[in-house]
Structure formats: C-alpha cells, structure tokens
Amino acid sequence: MKNIEDICVTIAIPVYNSEKVIADTVRSIFAQTHKNWKLILVNDGSTDKTAEWLSRIQDDRVTYINSENKGLIHWLNYFIDVADTPYYARMDADDIMHPERIEKQLRFLEEHPAVDLIDSAIYTMDLETIPVGIRNMKDIDFTPGVMLNSGVLTHPSVMGRTAWFKANRYDPAYYRAEDQELWCRTFETSTISRIKEPLLIYREGKVSIRNYVGSIESTKKIIRNYGPKYYSPSTVRTMLLKQNMKVLIYRVFTFLSRQDMLTKRRNQPLTAAQHEHVMSIITNNRKVIVPLRD
C-alpha cells in the first residue's frame, strides 16, 4: 500500500447562496488531517455575498470558478470530468467534514482495492448548527425495494475512485434524485461500502414543498424505470402510490410548519457524550484559519 500522505484527493463543492455557512464548510477542509487535496469551488450564480468570500481564498490547492447558474447536476459531472487525482470526494456547501474524514476514507479505499465507493455514518445538525442526531450506523441495505425508494447513501459523505465516477456519470433527467438513480444503476455491478463512523456533520432544514415534490417525481421515475426488473406491476404501482402519499403528508406538515418532525424521524438521538463531541468539532472548526486575500 502506498503512503497515503502521497495520495492526492479531489474535493469539489458547488455553492449557491451559501454566504452564511460556506466559511464553516471550507474551514473543515483546511482542518483535514490529510493535507494532500485539491479543492474545486464553484459559485453557481449566487445572488448573495457568497462570491465575495470565495474569491478571496488564497491557496494553491484551491480552484475557484465563478459562473452563471447551471445547476447541481451540471457541476457534478463537470467535477468528474476535470478530476485528475486517484480519488474524488463529494461535499455540499452547508455541511462540515469531520477532521479525519478524508484520511479515514482514503485509508479504507487503499486497504480495500476491490471497493469502488464508500460513504460514512453522519451526525446531523439543524439550520443553527446545533447537533441533532446520528444516522447510518448500520450496513447499507442493498435490497432493491430500499434502493428504489430512498437515497440509501448520504451523498455529501461519498468518496470513491475517480475512474469509477468517470465511468458512471450523473443523469440530468433525475433532478433532485440524481444520486439515488446513480446508486440504483450501479449497485449490482459495483462494490459499495460504508464506514460506520460519523465522518460528516450534515445540515438538515426545511425543504420547500416545490423541491420536495421535484424529488418525489424523480423517485417515481426511478421506480418506473428500474422497478419492473425486480417487482410485479402491482407492487410497482403500490410503490408509486406510497410516493404520492409522502407528498400529501409533507404538504400537511408544511402547512403546520413542522417539517422538522419528519427529518428528525430519520435520526437516532445523540448521547450526552456524542453531543459534546460534535460541538467540539464545530467549535474547533471555527478556529481554523482559511488564507484570504485582503
């Protein structure tokens, strides 16, 4: 096995109207114990002050692109096209990496050469950066019914071999479920694993009903396209009906302004020790200095 310190990892983040949170996200990359990385940051047509802060970052490892709005899937595929390192790590603009995320995921992939892709368990936090829960401490469930109905992997915690991503691009036809479709398309021909340790602090908040409906419509398309391979027509119809029921339930909770109740159901509660640990990561992360131009 190579010395992992000599292995460079591409990290790429599309950013849209994230001026309140992007600094914490970028700090968490500079805080990584593994220092051999390249970071690609794209301002995807933000209308707030995101671009002002991003454009000031001064580090040879960072590439900054200021663009008109082209959408997430466009940039996900662009990142894959330009990545020139052996490994590629996903990240979103409002989450925080555990300081050992890249090191531990890289070490796992180096020690398991047959594995194409991994995610990790995650801590969750609310819009105020307060720890909420923990998730994905179990093995990935590759049952077709689970794959068809949910994202299964936590997208911003994913890291894999760049060659795998280049061979398996995102399909723009699946808006807001592009990751779910990718896992459904590849899980039978790929080796996917999980580090059952939280290596990402994932931000959860209120999702607009418009975006939620968009996600459900793409999930229904996934069920229609991939479901008949595994299930009878009546079972596929039942799956589609359940997706419609999800929209109805979300509309009710949105009307009551209680979408948070639905997101909290996905999490296990934190112990006092876990809560203290996550808070220490968040607190220490805010002390990290990102080199900025005056």
Chunk the chain into consecutive blocks of 10 residues (it has 294) and report each block's average pLDDT, rounded to whole numbers.
91 98 98 98 98 98 98 98 98 98 98 98 96 96 94 97 98 97 97 98 89 94 98 97 94 83 84 98 98 94
Spatial contact of 110 and 164, defined as CB atoms under 8 Å apart? no
Q: Which burial class, exposed, middle or buried, applies to 120 when counting CB atoms under 10 A from its CB (0-12, 13-18, 19+)?
A: buried
> Which pLDDT belongs to residue 1?
61
Is the whole model's pTM more than 0.85, yes or no?
A: yes
Q: Whole-angstrom Cα distance, residue 211 to residue 72? A: 13
Identify residue 211 by its one-letter amino acid code.
N
User: Exposure of 285 by Cβ count < 10 A (0-12 exposed, 13-18 middle, 19+ buried)?
Assistant: buried
Looking at residue 137, what is its pLDDT?
A: 96
**Residue 288's pLDDT is what?**
98
According to DSSP H, which parts of the chain are helical?
Answer: 22-30, 50-54, 72-82, 101-111, 144-149, 162-167, 178-186, 209-226, 233-255, 259-264, 272-285
Domain 4-204+264-285, CATH homologous superfamily name and number = Spore Coat Polysaccharide Biosynthesis Protein SpsA; Chain A (3.90.550.10)
- C-alpha 203/C-alpha 197 separation (Å) is 17
